[in-house]
Amino acid sequence: MTRLRRSFFITKYFKPWLLRLTGRAGWATTLHALPGGIAPASHKTLSLQQKITRMPSGELGLPAQLILPLRQHLGPDSVPVVSVGDYVYKNQLIAAANGEKGVSLHAPSSGYISSINYALPPINEAHDPERSWQQALNRHHNAIVIDTDGKHAVRPGLLGANVDWRVRSPDELRQAVFDAGICGMGGAGFPTAIKLGASAIKTLIINGAECEPYITADEALMREHAAEVIEGALIIQRICGAQSCVIGIEADKYQAIDAIQGVINQIMSELQPANAGQAGLSLTLIPPIYPSGGEKQLIRIMTGIEVASGKRPVDVGVLCHSVATARAVYKAVSAGEPLTSRITTLTGHALKTAVNVEVMIGTPVSHLLDFAGVQHSQLQRLLVGGPLMGYEASDLDTPVLKTSNCLLAGSELDIAPAVTQSNPHRDCIRCDFCATVCPVKLQPQTLYFAARHQHHDASVENGLFDCIECGACAVVCPSHIPLVNYYREEKAVIRTDNDTAKQAYWQSLFEKHQQRLSVNAIDQQQRKLDKLQHKLEAIAVGEPLTKTPVPPVVAPTTSKSTEQIKQEIEAAVARTRAKKAELQKKNDATQDADK
């Protein structure tokens, strides 16, 4: 066993077992080892050398413009409720949620609306046209643009009343979360109010396991706002009715652990014995192994429950939220503040100052880079997110989103060079290193060959959509194959094909419906023609036009002769035949076009 593997084994298995025997705080819970995983260099001390910088402040002012995409979550675009030229205050609603799966959007600062259909620049543009990596992320979305006035003004009475959340019902608390426009801030962006509506939740897990290198936003949040995180966790516990609430933190975040444990001890001492129902609040420490911070991976480590493919954690009675989401819930419920800012890590060796900032949603990346002192001569790649799961921002107008936890300005010391036509990766040597580190127990090399040769059925059968795109396989690949890029592209192609197939299916149903309407219209004209023809035949033989006796009319004013009636019927027959011929011609033309 090499020294590296021996160190990994000690960190993952032996040390947690030993600490559990000692009874140290946070290690009392039996842990379940995560399959696979890696232990990369953390590089987290870069951005933890100073406290969180607020915006606006004397150090970091407001940008001239805030660019707010209408979709920052998993769901339909928000619907603008403002017009160009309107003046908006901080925290004012500017785009309403579109249905139950929608998320509202609020103004992070005061100013004038300059655009409501601003086309966002494409992100992660392909370097190689032959292989358009991550096309699923390269979409154009509309955004609302606010020209800030620097006043940061809040309309009087805009915030909700400060009512103790303990006397409010779970439905009222959940509605407050929905109104605040909160979505998952750990990266996925799933609407929080929907997750809080799950039933039969036994365990609530607050995810503080920020395992990806360089990113320290959640750690800084727990250090400085531990009380708000715990209070938000208790609010979430009340909404979902969980029996226990567990905060999971990686064992190497010492200051964050002390802050969280101190708040828990204080709250527990106040609750006992008056409110024993909250006695389930606890802290669990987990080994610092990547990607232990993934939702399903953290649940596996802390509870031993393995969420099956195609299932969600709520299906097994577990609800998981990030510490950032918990704090946003606290602010929404306790002060009526919508989600208009978040803590984001600015890091990388291309910056003079690495720091965590509480930045307004919609702030352009260029504004933050200028604040951190970007050195363009050293900047190799600019990533939104970490080095393993982040995506490249090719435009400096790219705004900070509700899900943006890191901005990595990487130099050669931070980021491996991108694979291009001039610098291609080597062939797979079937070493099986990737399968060893996969936390989902997939066969990455099999998925690679299926994706490379566009064998879509084989990709799906081998669990392509179970891949969490953690990038562990690409890190250990000796051939430097960008495996995650292949998987992302394959997912995008399959989704596009599925969408195309669905469109073709519904189009065929529509065409069949139109065909039935056309045939029915022709049959209707034929029936009308048959009736008129029957009347002409009746007139020819002198029969009455109807068998129903007609009551006598007193002093009729006018009457039509038989010849006049015959002429009217013949004219109606001509019109009906012409109408039938026209419909038949259209029907024949439609069938020829389908062929």
Higher pLDDT, 102 or 12: 102
Under DSSP, the state recorded for 77 is P
129 pLDDT tier (thresholds 50, 70, 90): very low
**pLDDT > 80? residue 410:** yes
Residue 132 has pLDDT above 50, yes or no: no
User: Beta-carbon neighbour count of residue 25 at 10 Å?
Assistant: 14
- Beta-bridge partners for 359: 342
Taken in order 361, 366, 372, 378, is the CA torsion positive or negative?
positive
What pLDDT score was predicted for residue 418?
62
Residues 11-47 have pLDDT tens digits of 766 667 666 666 666 777 788 888 888 988 889 998 9
* Whether 185 and 295 share a structural domain: yes
What's the mean pLDDT when you consider all of the chain? 84
Q: Does residue 549 carry a pLDDT above 80?
A: no
Say whether both 566 and 458 belong to one domain: yes
Instruction: Mark whether 317 and 439 lie in a shared domain.
Output: no
Residues 455 and 583 grouped into a single domain: yes
Q: Do residue 318 and residue 443 come from a single domain?
A: no
User: Residue 176 corresponds to which amino acid?
Assistant: A
pLDDT at position 299 is: 93
The per-residue pLDDT for 547 is 53
Structural domain includes residue 225: yes
Query: The CATH number of the domain where 237 resides is what?
Result: 3.40.50.11540
In a domain, 172, yes or no: yes
SS3 207: strand
Q: Are residues 437 and 574 in the same domain?
A: yes
The pLDDT, as a whole number, for residue 127 is 45
Please name the helix (run of DSSP H) or strand (run of DSSP E) that holds residue 94, with its range, or none.
Answer: strand 93-96
Query: What span, in angstroms and rounded, lies between the C-alpha atoms of 409 and 384?
Result: 9
- The domain in which residue 584 lies consists of 426-545+562-595
Direct distance between the N- and C-terminal alpha carbons of the chain, in angstroms, rounded to an integer: 67
Rounded to whole angstroms, the Cα distance separating 190 from 73 reads: 6
pLDDT score recorded for residue 272: 54
Length of the chain counted residue by residue: 595
Global pTM value? 0.80
Tens of pLDDT along 242-264?
999 999 999 889 999 999 999 99
Do both 311 and 443 map to the same domain? no
Return the higher-pLDDT residue of 99 and 217. Answer: 217
- Is residue 49 a part of any domain in this protein? no
Q: Distance (Å, rounded) from C-alpha 582 to C-alpha 576?
A: 10
Nearest Cα to Cα of residue 484 among 386, 389, 420, 384: 389
pLDDT for position 310: 82
Contact status, residue 468 vs residue 478, Cβ threshold 8 Å: no
* Rounded to 5°, angle at Cα 113 from 107 and 118: 95
Lowest mean pLDDT across 208-217, 451-460, 586-595: 586-595
> What confidence category does residue 277 fall into, taking pLDDT thresholds of 50, 70 and 90?
very low
* Residue 556, in any domain of the structure: no
The gap from C-alpha 200 to its chain's centroid, in whole angstroms, comes to: 24
Q: Which of 290, 308, 336 lies at the terminal end of a domain, its last residue?
A: 336
* In a shared domain, residues 322 and 447: no
What are 151's two structure tokens?
A: 């006043």
CA distances from 540 to 44, 116, 544, 560, 568 (A): 101, 72, 10, 16, 14
Say if residue 346's pLDDT is above 80.
Answer: yes
Residue 231: which H helix or E strand, with range?
helix 226-240
3-state secondary structure of 320: strand
> 195-199, 269-273, 440-444 — which one is most confidently predicted on average?
440-444
- Specify whether 320 is located in the same domain as 431: no
Same domain, 322 and 461: no
Q: Say if 193 falls within a structural domain.
A: yes
Residue 521 lies in a domain: yes
In the 3-class helix/strand/coil scheme, how is 395-445 assigned residue by residue?
CCCCECCCCCCEEEEECCCCCCCCCCCCCCCCCCCCCCHHHHHCCCCCCHH
Burial group, residue 45, by CB count within 10 angstroms (0-12, 13-18, 19+): exposed
Residue 88 in domain: no
- Domain end, chosen from 336, 364, 382, is at 336
Cα–Cα distance between 94 and 141 in angstroms, integer?
16
| CATH number of the domain that residue 517 is part of | 1.10.1060
Nearby residues of 241 by Cβ (< 8 Å), 6 or more positions away = 170, 199, 201
More confident residue, 514 or 231: 231
Burial 153-172 (b: 16+ CB within 10 A, else e): ebeeebebeeeebeebeeee
Q: What count of other Cβ atoms lies within 10 Å of the Cβ of residue 433?
A: 18
Here the tokens at position 349 are 């060796």
Kind plus residue range of the DSSP H or E element containing 371:
helix 365-372
Calculate mean pLDDT across residues 140-158: 86
pLDDT digits (tens, 9 = 90+) for 450-480: 998 889 999 999 999 999 999 999 999 999 8
- Does residue 289 belong to any structural domain of this protein? yes
- Tell me if residue 345 falls in helix, strand or coil: strand
Question: Highest mean pLDDT: which of 16-25, 129-138, 560-569?
Answer: 560-569
- Of the three residues 309, 336, 363, the one that is the final residue of a domain is 336
Strand, coil or helix: 531: helix
Same domain, 306 and 188: yes
Confidence at residue 559, expressed as pLDDT on a 0 to 100 scale: 61
Tokens matching residue 562: 């038989």
Residue type, 535: K
- 177 plus 29 within the same structural domain: yes
165: which DSSP letter? G
pLDDT by residue (tens digit) across 70-89?
988 888 899 999 999 999 99
240 Cα distance to chain centroid? 21
pLDDT at 444: 94
- Run of H or E residues at 5: helix 3-9
Phi, psi of 43 (to 5 degrees): 55, 30
pLDDT of residue 526: 80
Number of domains composing the chain = 2
Nearest to 285 by CA among 44, 41, 24, 39: 24
Report d(CA 432, CA 41) in Å as an integer. 22
